[in-house]
Chains A and B, each alone.
Chain A
């Protein structure tokens, strides 16, 4: 039988199964890019403002996060889009491609469904071929949408430049789809396969960052670097994308070769075995909660250390830029003197607090997941663990964990800023300034805990409130929202340190609200049925 037999049917199956997921991903990426680009004229109306922005792009931290900065001498909208949006969007497209390919290859196989499919007269290579074809096509379609959409949302962008820029994004997606096709053969589990591909994506991003900082050689080793080296909108050239085509072909061939060498369900890398017995410390509900949150907590903390380092690195330059930009001034004005590094830091620490709430809400949401998956039943029903004991142990990990995440962001920003400014105490000052927002984070965690107890099905409301708080925090000053609307967000009531006053009374009040909400949640959970 032909090894590719049935590929077409499988492509149809994938399109059917992912009829929502696929368009949702593409719409999400489109919204991210076109939405950001559409807002450029509001912030950088004049060539002078764009040129001021270009000066900011010179900072090493910014170069690592964005791109090589072609056309910085004449920072047109196009140069701005390519430099500031290219890397991030490419990474997003690559992530989409990785997750989709693994989902339809290794995940499918892991769940045993692929075996069913193969029993129904489908060639050995058909599932991999179908997943790759579908995702390649999705990348190309997405590229066309973006390439044609960019000149629509910002007419200053040329069609030719936009198509080249978007082709670079598609190329990165295609390369990483093929790479995921390989990792899906290597690893036994879907999570490990997408994890490995995502780690390589992060490495590719870092590689081009290092290259862009230096003489650019290292960037030529990264597919994202190739896309950026098309110099779109500046003096565009297509040939770097041929590297992506060659690499894709190599990866696809490798994936199929590996596939023919392994059994159904097996990986070429065997999963690392776990412990035969539990570590001595893994005893009791708090230790269990900590063990289960360890992965996310580590991930968030690492993320915040990097975020903080970036903030610390750009603070002084951003302050200079803000002094000349009206929009930036309006955003910063409430936090102190626009144009001082401290004001910039205070603003960023506030933003960090909002983002770190994501960790807190995710942790509280895990309570509900424990319940609905049934993992809670043997704990509460078959051991002397009480409901209150279980919930409070988990919430304790959430509250302390969100402090760790936020505090490490502040500390990291502080250390970098202390080095730049030569004032060692800045490290401690900024750590405390970040932690001053913690009571507001706790209020949202408490709200989520209360929902878990009282209205477990409505757990998503916590995220809605966070989204509202982000909106108020980011756009409140721009839109001149009335005070009472701003007051609804707990983050309005935390002091913007290091510049503002530390309002100890509001911090105590917020903490009390958080404690009250948590108590309501625990009491309600002790009274209700478990799912």
Chain B
């Protein structure tokens, strides 16, 4: 692990009046990785990102972006950083194509071939005036401008909000390609599955501080899967299996929650009883928080931080 770090944040604090938005947040992003920045709404993701981009001043803590200081070296650093906000707003009188070119030129030029390719991939009509774009189309304009840039670090704040599922897939492809080209991506999200699909490592935040950080496999223990199955025979011995929770058995119909590492053991038992039908669902982020952190010390020690 000697790769340089693209982002190093420790003990970051930020208050808005009496609201404590960040309360000692830590975040480390290594160069070349796609890093998931995960947390429920109001956790402080946007605030952290806006501090990293020099739009807000930190109240305390240490922040490094690439090899500079996010506030003092902002203009120098921004040659190497591209940013897509969670809610892209555009100048109503400019067309999407004009905005993409303009943002590209501010960074010193844009690769026209790459822009064309992205326009096609995202099926965006660049001639439309921004005032007639839907939320999803505005988001596409921001994404294309960022993805067509030569930036070495991409900061994406919940970038897929408003995109339809097809476009989300296109977006994922593009992010993977960026990674193959050696770029670093910080991707904030409140949707666990999106982060799982793309990210090498994940930082989970809540109420302004970091509660977990690591590779996805390290965080596997956090995830619990809902399983429901219809069986041929009534199964036995399920309640003594480790990692199986909230078991409901109604004749041959079964419903339970299972820790990811224990999934294998459960499925073995089920096949013994003959599986007629099976559905499993990954947990949503909200469920994850409910299960793992709600009774933890965090809940009582942080007041008034998040909505």
Contact = CB atoms under 8 A, between A and B. Distances in A.
Question: Is A bound to B?
Answer: yes
Interface of A: 188-189, 191, 271, 273-279, 282-285, 288, 291-292, 295, 373-375, 377-386, 389, 527-530
B88 interface: yes
Most buried by A among B75, B90, B142, B155: B75
Contacts of A527: 57
Contact of B54 (A275, A278, A291, A381): A381
B302 to A, nearest CB: 22
A522 to B, nearest CB: 14
A248 B88 CA distance: 42
A383 B107 contact: yes
B18 to A, nearest CB: 16
B95 A276 contact: yes
A278 B107 contact: no
Contacts of B83: 377-378, 381-382
Given A188-B132, A283-B102, A285-B106, A275 B95 contact: yes
Contact of A386 (B75, B85, B94, B101): B75
Given A374-B85, A374-B87, A278 B57 contact: no
Interface string B131-145: 110000000001001
A528 B16 CA distance: 13
Nearest to B127: A273
Interface of B: 50, 53-57, 74-76, 78-79, 81-85, 87-91, 93-99, 101-103, 105-108, 126-129, 131-132, 142, 145-146, 155
A-B residue pairs, 6 tightest by C-beta: A274-B95, A382-B83, A381-B53, A278-B101, A273-B127, A383-B106
18 contacts: A189-B132, A273-B128, A273-B129, A274-B95, A275-B97, A282-B98, A374-B85, A375-B89, A377-B53, A377-B55, A377-B85, A378-B83, A378-B85, A382-B83, A382-B107, A383-B78, A528-B57, A529-B55
A429 B132 CA distance: 47
B105 A283 contact: yes
A275 B128 CA distance: 8
Contact of A384 (B91, B97, B107): B107
Contacts of A285: 106
A282 B102 contact: yes
B89 A374 contact: yes
Nearest to A191: B131
B79 A384 contact: yes
B95 A382 contact: no
A527 to B, nearest CB: 8
Contacts of A389: 75
B131 A189 contact: yes
A389 B75 CA distance: 10
A277 B97 contact: yes
Contacts of B96: 274
A481 B84 CA distance: 55
A278 B98 contact: yes
Contact of A381 (B50, B79, B94): B50
Contacts of B81: 381-382
A291 B90 CA distance: 14
Nearest to A377: B85
A381 B78 contact: yes
Contact of A379 (B106, B108, B131): B106
A187 to B, nearest CB: 12
Given A188-B132, A382-B78, A274 B106 contact: no
Contacts of B108: 384
Nearest to A379: B106
Given A274-B96, A378-B88, 20 more contacts: A188-B132, A275-B98, A278-B97, A278-B101, A283-B105, A374-B87, A374-B88, A377-B50, A377-B83, A381-B50, A381-B53, A381-B83, A382-B82, A382-B84, A383-B78, A383-B103, A383-B107, A384-B79, A385-B75, A385-B78
Contacts of A291: 94
Given A276-B95, A278-B101, A382 B146 contact: yes
Most buried by A among B106, B127, B132: B106
A345 to B, nearest CB: 37
A530 B56 contact: yes
Given A377-B85, A381-B53, A386-B74, A277 B102 contact: no
B242 to A, nearest CB: 48
A490 B90 CA distance: 36
Nearest to B78: A384
Contacts of A278: 97-99, 101-102, 105
A295 B142 CA distance: 24
